């Protein structure tokens, strides 16, 4: 890749990452949310991986990191859902808002999201989904970039048949 791209892409990727975070955090009141924000952050990573190559990319997602983030995102989502089931009887019940007034006050306080809209668990769900999506999409691109071709039993590359 050209020198101009190599100079520009890493700073741009950091700014794009911030935009993705902003999209995730505004998911409950503006267009966007966990999936869209996660895809934007993954886009920033993909930008770096394509321009610098997997080896020299300044943003590095290792296999362990992606596994951990994927698990944390999924577990956080399930935990918030099960908390609604335990305290209100419905999976993913919005404990922070409590429209039906059936949740103890301290539980409502715990799951409240401290902003002017008091959106309850929705921003936390966006956060969990954002984590999952950003590592999921990045993993696909890492797999594609790291693909070295198909090899037979003797270690020789299989040529494509037209």
Q: Among residue numbers 103 through 122, which ones bind other proteins (CB under 8 A)?
A: 113-117
Distance CA 60, CA 78 (A): 28
* Residues contacting 9, CB < 8 A, separation 6+: 47, 48, 51, 52
Contact in structure between 36 and 23 (CB atoms under 8 Å) = yes
Distance CA 77, CA 90 (A): 14
Number of residues that bind other proteins (CB under 8 A): 39
Does the footprint of other proteins cover residue 59 (CB under 8 A)?
Answer: yes
Does the footprint of other proteins cover residue 11 (CB under 8 A)?
Answer: yes
Does the footprint of other proteins cover residue 15 (CB under 8 A)?
Answer: yes
Does the footprint of other proteins cover residue 141 (CB under 8 A)?
Answer: no
CA distances from 92 to 24, 60, 104, 109 (A): 19, 34, 16, 16
Contact in structure between 126 and 28 (CB atoms under 8 Å) = yes
Contact in structure between 15 and 48 (CB atoms under 8 Å) = no
Sole window of 13-21, 83-91, 98-106, 153-161 interacting with other proteins (rule: CB under 8 A): 13-21
Contact in structure between 9 and 58 (CB atoms under 8 Å) = no
Does the footprint of other proteins cover residue 25 (CB under 8 A)?
Answer: yes
Does the footprint of other proteins cover residue 65 (CB under 8 A)?
Answer: yes
Does the footprint of other proteins cover residue 93 (CB under 8 A)?
Answer: no
Minimum CB separation from other proteins for residue 87, in Å? 21
Between 18 and 78, CB nearer to other proteins: 18
The contact set with other proteins (CB under 8 A) reads 6, 10-11, 14-15, 17-19, 21-22, 24-26, 29-30, 41, 52, 54-56, 58-63, 65, 69, 113-117, 123, 127, 130-131, 142, 146
């Amino acid at each position: 890749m050209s020198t101009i791209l190599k100079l520009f892409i890493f700073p741009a990727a950091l700014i794009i990452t911030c935009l993705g975070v902003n999209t995730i955090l505004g998911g409950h009141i503006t267009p966007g949310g966990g999936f869209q924000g996660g895809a934007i952050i993954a886009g920033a990573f993909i930008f770096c991986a394509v321009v610098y190559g997997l080896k020299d990319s300044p943003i590095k997602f290792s296999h362990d990191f992606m596994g951990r983030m994927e698990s944390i995102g999924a577990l956080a989502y399930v935990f918030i859902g099960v908390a609604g089931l335990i305290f209100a009887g419905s999976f993913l019940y919005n404990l922070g808002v409590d429209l039906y007034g059936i949740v103890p006050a301290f539980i409502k306080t715990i799951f409240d999201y401290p902003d002017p809209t008091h959106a309850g668990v929705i921003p936390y769900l966006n956060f969990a989904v954002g984590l999952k999506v950003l590592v999921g999409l990045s993993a696909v691109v890492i797999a594609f970039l790291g693909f070295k071709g198909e090899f037979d039993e003797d270690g020789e590359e299989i040529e494509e048949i037209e």
